[in-house]
Structure 1
Amino acid sequence: MQALVVPTATTHTLRALQWQERPMPAVGRDDVLIKTQAVGLNPVDYKLVTEPHPQWHYPHVLGLDVAGIVEAVGANVTDFHPGQRVCGHDNLANDGCFAEYVSFPAAALAPIPSTVSFETAAASLCAGLTAYQAIHRKANLAAVQTVLIHAGAGGVGSMAIQLAQAAGKTVYTTVSAHKQAFVARLHPAAQIDYRQEDVTTRLTELTHGQGVDLIVNSIGHPEADLPRLAYNGQLVCILAAPEHFPTEQPVTISRIDLGGAHRSKNPAQVADLGRMTRSLLQLVADQKVDPLISQVLTRDDLVTGLSQLQADQVVGKLVVNFD
Structure 2
Amino acid sequence: MKAIFYDKYGTPDVLELKEVEKPVPEDNQVLVHIHAASINYGNLVLLKGEPFLARFAFGLFKPKYSIPGGDIAGRVESVGANVKQFQPGDEVLGDLSRCGWGGFAEYVSVPEHALVLKPASLSFEEAAAVPMAAVTALQSIRDKGRVKAGQKVLIHGASGGVGTFAVQIAKSFGAEVTAVCSTRNVKIAKSLGADSVIDYTREDFAKMNDRFDLIIGANGYQPISVYRRALKTNGIFVHVGGSSAQLFQAMTLGPWISLSGDKKVHSFLQRSNQKDLQHIKDLLEKGKVKPVIDKHFALHEVPEAFKYFAEGHAQGKVIIQIEAP
- 1:143–1:190: structure 2 CA closer, same or farther, 3 Å change rule? closer
* 1:245-304: CA deviation from partner (whole Å, max 9, x where unpaired): 22553234443222xx4xxxxxxxx6xx11111111221222211111123333233332
Q: What is the aligned counterpart of 1:189 among 192, 195, 208?
A: 195
Report which stretch shifted further, 117-126 or 131-140: 131-140
Q: Does 1:255 align with 2:267?
A: yes
Q: Give 1:46 shift.
A: 3.2
Q: What is the aligned counterpart of 1:120 among 121, 126, 143?
A: 126
Q: What is the aligned counterpart of 1:243 among 252, 255, 258?
A: 252
Q: Secondary structure of the equivalent of 1:81?
A: coil
Q: Is the 8 A contact 1:90 1:96 kept in 2?
A: yes
1:71 matched residue in structure 2:
77
Q: What is the aligned counterpart of 1:54 among 59, 62, 65?
A: 59
Give, in whole Å, the separation in 1 of the partners of 2:76 and 2:300.
24
Q: Secondary structure of the equivalent of 1:37?
A: strand
Give, in whole Å, the separation in 2 of the partners of 1:72 and 1:255.
39
Q: Secondary structure of the equivalent of 1:307?
A: helix
1:179 matched residue in structure 2:
185
Give, in whole Å, the separation in 2 of the partners of 1:243 and 1:57.
27
Q: Secondary structure of the equivalent of 2:74?
A: strand
Give, in whole Å, the separation in 2 of the partners of 1:219 and 1:312.
9
2:230 matched residue in structure 1:
228
1:296 matched residue in structure 2:
296
For structure 2, the residue ranges without an aligned partner over 5 or more in a row are 50-54, 242-246
- 1:79–1:187: structure 2 CA closer, same or farther, 3 Å change rule? closer
Q: What is the aligned counterpart of 1:161 among 163, 167, 179?
A: 167
Structure 2 letter corresponding to 1:255: S
1:317 matched residue in structure 2:
317
2:19 matched residue in structure 1:
21
Q: Secondary structure of the equivalent of 1:234?
A: strand
Q: Give 1:98 shift.
A: 0.3
Q: Secondary structure of the equivalent of 1:320?
A: strand
Q: Give 1:49 shift.
A: 1.4
Q: What is the aligned counterpart of 1:201 among 199, 207, 214?
A: 207
1:265 matched residue in structure 2:
none
Give, in whole Å, the separation in 2 of the partners of 1:21 and 1:31.
22
Q: Is the 8 A contact 2:296 2:321 kept in 1?
A: yes
* 1:134-191: CA deviation from partner (whole Å, max 9, x where unpaired): 1233232236510011101111111100111122211112212233233232242322
Q: Give 1:199 shift.
A: 2.1
1:282 matched residue in structure 2:
282
TM-score, with normalisation over the residues of structure 2?
0.84
Q: Is the 8 A contact 1:86 1:112 kept in 2?
A: yes
The runs of 4+ residues in structure 1 deviating greater than 6 Å are: none
Q: Give 1:16 shift.
A: 2.8
Q: Give 1:33 shift.
A: 1.4
Give, in whole Å, the separation in 1 of the partners of 2:80 and 2:226.
48
Give, in whole Å, the separation in 1 of the partners of 2:171 and 2:157.
16
Structure 1 letter corresponding to 2:70: L
1:213 matched residue in structure 2:
213
* 1:218-249: CA deviation from partner (whole Å, max 9, x where unpaired): 23643431221112212222143352322553
1:264 matched residue in structure 2:
none
Q: Is the 8 A contact 1:110 1:275 kept in 2?
A: no
1:121-136 alignment, distance < 5 Å: 121-136=127-142
Structure 2 letter corresponding to 1:184: K
Q: Secondary structure of the equivalent of 1:142?
A: coil
Task: Give me the CA root mean square deviation.
Answer: 2.4
Report which stretch shifted further, 129-138 or 54-63: 54-63
For structure 1, the residue ranges without an aligned partner over 5 or more in a row are 262-269
Q: Secondary structure of the equivalent of 1:107?
A: helix
Across the two proteins, how many residue pairs are aligned to each other?
A: 303
Report which stretch shifted further, 153-162 or 228-237: 228-237
* 1:43-66: CA deviation from partner (whole Å, max 9, x where unpaired): 332342122631665781011101
